[in-house]
Amino acid sequence: MTSEREADLIVVGGGPAGVMTGLLFARAGVSTKVVEKHADFFRDFRGDTVHPSTMEILDQLGLLGKFLQRPHNRVNKAQLRIEGRDWTIGDLSHLSTPAPFIAMMPQWDFLDFLRDEAERFPAFDLVMDEAVIGFVEEGGRVTGVRYASGREERAGRLVIAADGRASLVRRLGMLPMETLGAPIDVLWFKLPKTDDGGDALRGSVNPGRIVVLIDRDDYWQAAFVIGKGEEAAVRAKGLGWLRGEVEGAFPDLRFEGAFLERDEDVKLLSVAVDRLRQWSRPGLLAIGDAAHAMSPIGGIGINLAIQDAVAAANILAAPMAAGENVDPLLHQVQQRRLLPTRIIQAGQVAAQDRIIGPVLSGGTVRAPRLVRLLDRFPLLRRIPGRIIGLGIRREQVRSPAA
């Protein structure tokens, strides 16, 4: 749906955080326009994990049943292969939540679902294939956006940046940022799958090598962890070497058929862990990866971003619908979401520095005591399952329905 009317809210970025933001604010009666630079949602190797915390939000909106009707896989435990044996380290199946599992669904399908539901609200507009290249400012306040075509558009009350780790807010230096560091990158690729995969995320850890497999029904989505900046060196070894590394990591699995035949079959995810020191300024708020870039560890980036969107709507939607100035309220979104962001990023940095880094350097690999305890006592596995599945300080939908 598109229109020429001025929107009270312009959301830059049509990813999960952006479209969920549009849905929640339009549901509250706030005229909202979501602007996405691509012509469609079809993007390969984007985050495809929908965690229980996100499905709680869908349930609160009355959408969970419809969401689960869409094709997806379910993962309810995590395993690591260390020293040649599999250790079960996490269990989500006992969570007290409407969907105690991770739903694996292509992100474009998830976005199609959110868009279809958002378009039920007359206040929602989605504009595709329109790149925002700048912000319009008047008197020190952000009042709108500037498109690549040169056209400017005014936002009646607020602009929300939900355009990811390459956010315009970051590139223009509009808000101060703190870098926490990431010593790793990830190579993503697909592998043929011949068994049913089970219901677990699989990881293999050996000296100098970490490989993770995610069951995508008819194929494996594989993550091959490398040191920061080592992409060229790995590619120079050739695809045959990479195939051998994967097969060596999972000798019990059969990867039948042709795979990893072209360099373009392998995509790079450049890992970053950072956050804005300040998420807002008059007329502008950043959420999701635009406010805090996360490591892929735990696959929780999408779900954290959606929690941001819910918090923003809880705090801002009702006042905006009532015609109030929300600039004095913007800092409350950061106050609400900063603690979970800090805790999760601290855990990711610790895992990178203390576990992943030493493994990639070729050090001796042994199952840590914690891994052994989690594997031995099923009750303990519920703790990491809860952290991964529900996160820290999860949000409840409190924004109004117009």
The 3-state DSSP composition of the chain as helix, strand, coil percent (nearest 5) reads: 35, 25, 35
> Whose CA is closest to 97, among 61, 49, 54, 47?
54
Question: Domain ends where: 240, 270, 300?
Answer: 270
- Rounded average pLDDT over 357-376: 84
Instruction: Give residue-wise pLDDT tens across range 127-152.
Output: 999 999 999 999 999 999 999 999 99
Share of the chain above pLDDT 70, in %: 96
Residue burial 121-137, b: 16+ Cβ < 10 Å; e: rest: bebbbbbeebebeebbe
Domain of residue 253 covers 184-227+229-270
Same domain, 190 and 48: no
Same domain, 192 and 296: no
Same domain, 119 and 262: no
Interatomic CA distance for residues 337 and 140, integer angstroms: 25
Least confident of 254-258, 285-289, 292-296, 381-385: 254-258
Does the pLDDT at position 45 exceed 60?
Answer: no
- Rounded average pLDDT over 301-306: 92
Task: Identify the DSSP state of 203.
Answer: E
- Rounded average pLDDT over 44-68: 89
pTM for the model stands at 0.91
Same domain, 26 and 123: yes
Interatomic CA distance for residues 148 and 314, integer angstroms: 32
**pLDDT, position 44:** 59
Residue 22 lies in a domain: yes
Q: Do the Cβ atoms of 300 and 292 come closer than 8 Å?
A: no
Interatomic CA distance for residues 146 and 372, integer angstroms: 55
The CATH number of residue 31's host domain is 3.50.50.60
Q: Do the Cβ atoms of 87 and 374 come closer than 8 Å?
A: yes
- Rounded average pLDDT over 342-371: 85
**pLDDT, position 1:** 40
Rounded to the nearest 5°, which phi and psi values hold at 348?
-65, -45
Q: Do the Cβ atoms of 294 and 302 come closer than 8 Å?
A: no
Least confident of 86-90, 116-120, 213-217, 324-328: 213-217
Q: Mean pLDDT over all residues of the chain?
A: 90
Same domain, 287 and 336: yes
Cα angle, residue 376 at apex, residues 374 and 377 outer, rounded to 5°: 70
Same domain, 211 and 66: no
**pLDDT, position 194:** 75
- Rounded average pLDDT over 155-161: 96
- Rounded average pLDDT over 308-335: 97
Residue type, 283: G
For 357, what's the count of Cα atoms within 13 Å in the CB-facing half-sphere?
11
Residue 238 lies in a domain: yes
**pLDDT, position 325:** 96
**pLDDT, position 3:** 44
**pLDDT, position 114:** 96
Same domain, 220 and 301: no
- Rounded average pLDDT over 341-366: 86
Residue 390 lies in a domain: no
Does the pLDDT at position 167 exceed 90?
Answer: yes
Look at 44 and 266; give whichever has higher pLDDT: 266
Domain count of the chain? 2
Residue burial 246-266, b: 16+ Cβ < 10 Å; e: rest: beebbeebebeeebbeeeeeb
The CATH number of residue 219's host domain is 3.30.9
Same domain, 154 and 60: yes
**pLDDT, position 12:** 97
- Rounded average pLDDT over 259-264: 87
**pLDDT, position 4:** 53
- Rounded average pLDDT over 98-120: 93
Instruction: Give residue-wise pLDDT tens across range 177-196.
Output: 999 988 899 999 988 887 66
Residue 388 lies in a domain: no
Please report which confidence band the pLDDT of residue 2 belongs to, taking 50, 70 and 90 as the band edges: very low
Does the pLDDT at position 359 exceed 80?
Answer: yes
Does the pLDDT at position 381 exceed 90?
Answer: yes
Residue 96 lies in a domain: no
**pLDDT, position 54:** 96
- Rounded average pLDDT over 234-250: 91
Same domain, 304 and 320: yes
What is the DSSP pairing of strand 7-12 with strand 152-161?
parallel
Residue 86 lies in a domain: no
Question: Domain ends where: 219, 248, 270?
Answer: 270
Q: Measured in whole angstroms, how far is the alpha carbon of residue 46 from the centre of its chain?
A: 8
Interatomic CA distance for residues 331 and 157, integer angstroms: 15
Residue 398 lies in a domain: no
Same domain, 174 and 199: no
